Amino acid sequence: MAPTSSAKSEDVRTTNIAAAEEVLSAIRTSLGPRGMDKMVITGKGDVLISNDGATIMKELEARHPAARLLIELSKAQDVEAGDGTTSVVVMCCSLLHECPNLLKMGLHPSVISRGYGKAAAKAEEILDSMSIDLDLDPSNVRKTLITAAKTSLSSKVVSQYSKWLAPIAVDAVSAICDPLNDDNVNLDDIRVVKLAGDTIDRTELIKGLCFPRKVSHVANGPTSISNAKIAFIQFCLSAPKTTMDSSVVVSDYQQMDRLIREERRYILTMCKKIKASGCNVVLIQKSILRDAVSEIALAFLAKMGIMVVRNIEREDASFVCRTVGCKPIASIEHFTADKLGHAFIAEEIELSGKRMVRVIRDDPALPQPEHSAKTITVLVRGVNKLILDEADRSLHDALCVIRSLVKKKKQLPGGGAAEIELAMRLDEYAQTLSGLESYVVKAYANAFELIPYTLAENAGLNPIATVTKLRSEHNKGVTMAGIHVKKGDILDMRAKKVIQPTLVTSSAVKLATETAQMILKISDIVAAR
Choosing from 85, 144, 151, 515, which is the catalytic residue?
85
Is 502 catalytic? The answer is no
Strands (E), 19-174: 38-41, 47-50, 132-133
CB 410 within 8 A of CB 131: yes
The terminus-to-terminus CA distance of the chain in angstroms comes to: 27
Q: Which of these, 401, 416, 411, lies nearest to 491 by C-alpha position? A: 416
Up-side HSE of residue 450: CA atoms within 13 Å toward CB? 25
Are 169 and 395 in contact, with CB atoms under 8 Å apart? yes
Please give the C-alpha separations between residue 424 and each of 257, 391, 467, 470, 500, in angstroms, as whole numbers. Answer: 88, 37, 12, 11, 20
To the query of whether residue 86 is one of the catalytic residues in this protein, the response is yes
CA 209/CA 359 separation, integer angstroms? 5
Calpha distance 393→139 (Å, rounded): 29
Catalytic annotation, pick one of 55, 78, 83, 86: 86
Residue 194: exposure state from Cβ atoms within 10 A (0-12, 13-18, ≥19): middle
Nearest to 109 by CA among 527, 524, 424: 524
Query: Of 95, 93, 127, 124, which is closest to residue 112 (Cα–Cα)?
Result: 95
Which class for 438: exposed (0-12), middle (13-18), buried (19 or more C-beta within 10 A)? middle
Please state, as a whole number, how many other Cβ atoms lie within 10 Å of the Cβ of residue 63: 7
Please tell me which residue in 78, 83, 189, 397 is annotated as part of the active site.
Answer: 397
For the chain, the residue count is 529
- State yes or no: is 52 an active-site residue: yes
Amino acid at 466: T
Catalytic, 11? Answer no
Give the active site residues: 52, 85-86, 397
